[in-house]
């Protein structure tokens, strides 16, 4: 049986599948050519990340397809329910990339509060001629320790983010419409561990209380943070979106930054990927990355292993 990993697959996954007798194809097939390629090569399992879309045209016209796999958490690029109605198994790896995304959130947070994203651009250009001016410009940083981190969406990734926050010394508050309480266990290098019980509160209270807000929600019809939310958000708060493009109203975010309602922001995902708005890319108060939340070697190894194990369990 053949597996097409159209957006790539870590070596760990390839080895696992090949040992089980599967042929793994790592070729990237253009979206408009997928149906023909799957049928010509009798592909049993199609593995994607965020680039490839698996819609009804593929589901309806590829009778050999038994599994659609998403390397990661969100599956908004797959018509999941429709595929399952047609008898196709849809799988993903919800836990594999949680810590990687959480670490990226804090990479942005640490950079934001010390202006690293801006300093790293200006020091190479003017560090030799305007050192004192730049030192003064970046001398108003703050510490994360003792601040309140508000998390919108308290599933696996939200909880992984909370654990890092607790380790840094932050107060954690969270909102999730489906979770009332979570027990977070922090494991340390010497075998010790500590547990924390976090009771979720209302979204409005998170917005009012949090010094920094991190979003960990799936794609949805309406903005999670838009004009209404920016009106009640704590003045000067920072915000990070490493979840999905479209959960923050980007125009409202720019306005909130200009008005000082939000002091800084970080975006790993965008409404118009892969062509983010220039107003976001050029804003000195926004820290930017190109959708790399799960892009660590460790996460990709875990994703490969989990996908391989699920495919073998279903088909072998």
Residue among 47, 52, 56 nearest 85 (CA): 56
| Residue whose tokens read 């994203």 | 117
39 closest CA partner among 60, 56, 17, 15: 60
Backbone angles phi, psi at 90, to 5 degrees: -120, 125
**Max Cα distance, the chain (Å):** 67
C-alpha distances in angstroms, 225 versus 40, 67, 154, 207, 245? Answer: 45, 35, 16, 9, 12
Label residues 109-142 b or e (16+ Cβ within 10 Å = b).
bebbbbbbbbbeebeeeeeeeeeeebeeeeeeee
Residue 99 bears catalytic tag: no
- Which residue in the list 99, 156, 216, 244 is annotated as catalytic? 244
Report yes or no: 241 and 267 within 8 Å, Cβ to Cβ: yes
Nearest in space to 208 (alpha carbons), one of 184, 223, 230: 230
151 within 8 A of 201, measured Cβ to Cβ = no
70 is catalytic: no
Given the residues 55, 205, 273, 305, select the one marked as catalytic.
Answer: 273
Catalytic residues: 244, 273, 291
């Amino acid at each position: 049986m053949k597996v097409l990993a159209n957006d790539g697959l870590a070596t760990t996954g390839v080895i696992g599948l090949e040992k089980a007798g599967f042929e793994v194809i790592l070729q990237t097939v253009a979206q408009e050519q997928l149906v023909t390629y799957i049928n010509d090569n009798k592909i049993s399992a199609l593995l994607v990340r965020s680039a490839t879309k698996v819609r009804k045209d593929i589901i309806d016209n590829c009778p050999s397809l038994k599994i659609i796999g998403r390397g990661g958490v969100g599956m908004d690029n797959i018509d999941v329910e429709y595929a399952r109605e047609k008898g196709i198994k849809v799988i993903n790896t919800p836990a594999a990339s949680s810590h990687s995304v959480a670490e990226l959130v804090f990479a942005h947070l640490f950079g934001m509060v010390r202006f690293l994203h801006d300093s790293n651009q200006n020091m190479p250009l003017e560090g030799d001629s305007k050192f004192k001016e730049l030192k003064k410009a970046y001398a108003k940083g703050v510490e994360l320790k003792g601040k309140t981190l508000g998390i919108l969406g308290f599933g696996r990734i939200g909880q992984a983010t909370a654990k890092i926050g607790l380790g840094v010394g932050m107060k954690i508050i969270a909102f999730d419409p489906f979770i009332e309480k979570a027990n977070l266990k922090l494991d340390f290098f010497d075998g010790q561990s500590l547990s924390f019980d976090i009771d979720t509160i209302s979204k409005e209270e998170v917005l009012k209380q949090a010094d920094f807000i991190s979003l960990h929600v799936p794609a949805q019809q309406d903005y999670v943070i838009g004009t209404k939310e920016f009106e009640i958000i704590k003045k000067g708060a920072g915000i990070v979106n490493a979840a999905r493009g479209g959960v923050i109203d980007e125009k409202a975010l720019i306005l909130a930054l200009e008005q000082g309602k939000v002091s800084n922001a970080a975006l790993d995902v965008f409404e118009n990927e892969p062509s983010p708005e220039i107003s976001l890319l050029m804003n000195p108060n926004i820290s930017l990355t190109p959708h790399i939340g799960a892009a660590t070697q460790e996460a990709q190894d875990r994703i490969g292993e989990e996908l391989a194990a699920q495919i073998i369990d279903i088909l072998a």
